[in-house]
Amino acid sequence: MSIDSTKILLNEDEMPRQWYNIQADLPSPMPPPLGPDGSPVGPDALSRVFPMNLIEQEVSTERWIDIPEEVLGILKIWRPSPLYRARRLEQALQTPAKIYYKNEGVSPAGSHKPNTAVPQAWYNKQFGIKHLITETGAGQWGSALAMSCKLVGIDCKVFMVRISFDQKPFRKIMMKTWGADCIASPSEQTAVGRKILAEMPDTPGSLAIAISEAIEQAVSNDDTRYALGSVLNHVMLHQTIIGLEARKQFEKAGLYPDVVIGCAGGGSNFAGISFPFLYDKIHGKNVQVIATEPEACPTLTRGPYIYDAGDVAKMTPFLPMHSLGHGFIPPAIHAGGLRYHGMAPLVSHVKELGLIDATAIGQIECYEAALLFAHTEGFISAPETSHAIAQTIREAKKAKEEGKEKVILMNWSGHGLMDLQGYDAFLSGKLHDYPLPEEFLQRSLAAVRDHPPIR
Ligand SMILES: *Cc1c(COP(=O)(O)O)cnc(C)c1O
Predicted local confidence at residue 339, as pLDDT: 80
The total of other beta-carbon atoms located within 10 Å of residue 438's CB is: 9
Pairing relation of β-strands 407-412 and 155-161?
A: unpaired
What backbone torsions phi and psi does residue 101 show, to the nearest 5 degrees? -135, 140
Q: Residue whose CA is closest, atom 3 of ligand 1?
A: 337
Is 236 a pocket residue for ligand 1 (Cβ < 6 Å)? no
Is 263 a pocket residue for ligand 1 (Cβ < 6 Å)? yes
Cα of 68 vs centre of ligand 1, distance in Å, is 24
Q: Is the preceding peptide bond at 96 cis, omega within 30 degrees of 0?
A: no
The alpha carbon torsion through 339, 344, 345, 346 (nearest 10 deg) reads: -150
Is 114 a pocket residue for ligand 1 (Cβ < 6 Å)? no
* Helix ranges (DSSP H) in 220-337: 233-253, 268-282, 299-302
Question: Residue 354: CB partners within 8 Å, gap ≥ 6?
Answer: none
Is 414 a pocket residue for ligand 1 (Cβ < 6 Å)? yes
Across the chain, which has 455 residues, the per-10-residue mean pLDDT values are: 83 98 96 92 91 97 98 98 98 98 98 98 98 94 98 98 87 97 96 93 85 92 96 98 98 97 97 98 98 96 95 86 88 79 96 98 97 98 97 98 97 96 95 92 92 88
Question: Residue 4: CB partners within 8 Å, gap ≥ 6?
Answer: 85
Is 382 a pocket residue for ligand 1 (Cβ < 6 Å)? yes
Helix, strand, or coil here: 217? Answer: helix
Helix, strand, or coil here: 305? Answer: strand
Predicted local confidence at residue 325, as pLDDT: 93
Question: Residue 164: CB partners within 8 Å, gap ≥ 6?
Answer: 136, 137, 138, 139, 171, 336
CA angle 411, 353, 452 (to 5 degrees): 110
Predicted local confidence at residue 3, as pLDDT: 61
In angstroms, rounded to a whole number, what is the distance separating the alpha carbons of residues 373 and 426? 15
Is 230 a pocket residue for ligand 1 (Cβ < 6 Å)? yes
Residue of 115, 120, 237, 263 to mutate, ligand 1, most atoms within 8 A of C-beta: 263
Could you give the C-alpha distances from 274 to 67, 181, 255, 271, 411, in angstroms and in order? Answer: 19, 34, 16, 5, 9
Is 383 a pocket residue for ligand 1 (Cβ < 6 Å)? no
What backbone torsions phi and psi does residue 156 show, to the nearest 5 degrees? -135, 135
Domain 114-226 has CATH 1.20.1370.20: no
Predicted local confidence at residue 318, as pLDDT: 94
Predicted local confidence at residue 185, as pLDDT: 94
Predicted local confidence at residue 311, as pLDDT: 79
Cα-to-chain-centroid distance, residue 74 = 20
Instruction: Tell me the DSSP string of 100-125.
Output: EEEEGGGSTTSBSTHHHHHHHHHHHH
- β-bridge partners, 183: 159
Parse the chain into domains and list their residue ranges. 7-109+232-427, 114-226
Task: For residue 264, give the ligand 1 atom closest to its CA.
Answer: 8
The 10 Å CB-count burial string (b at 16+, else e) for 295-318 is bbbbbbbbbebbbbbbbbebbbbb
Cα of 333 vs centre of ligand 1, distance in Å, is 14
**Can you say whether the dihedral through the CA atoms of 152, 153, 159, 160 is positive or negative?**
positive
Predicted local confidence at residue 139, as pLDDT: 94
Given strand 131-136, what is the order of strands in its sheet? 181-185, 155-161, 131-136, 224-226
Residue of 102, 107, 134, 140 to mutate, ligand 1, most atoms within 8 A of C-beta: 140
Helix, strand, or coil here: 244? Answer: helix
Predicted local confidence at residue 2, as pLDDT: 63
Predicted local confidence at residue 141, as pLDDT: 97
Domains 7-109+232-427 and 114-226 share a fold: yes
Cα of 385 vs centre of ligand 1, distance in Å, is 8
Is 113 a pocket residue for ligand 1 (Cβ < 6 Å)? yes
**Spatial contact of 407 and 106, defined as CB atoms under 8 Å apart:** no
Q: Residue whose CA is closest, atom 5 of ligand 1?
A: 265
**Spatial contact of 276 and 245, defined as CB atoms under 8 Å apart:** no
Give the architecture (CATH level 2) of 7-109+232-427.
3-Layer(aba) Sandwich (3.40)
What backbone torsions phi and psi does residue 276 show, to the nearest 5 degrees? -60, -30
Task: For residue 140, give the ligand 1 atom closest to its CA.
Answer: 15
- β-bridge partners, 288: 259
Predicted local confidence at residue 208, as pLDDT: 78
**Spatial contact of 299 and 340, defined as CB atoms under 8 Å apart:** yes
Q: Residue whose CA is closest, atom 1 of ligand 1?
A: 337
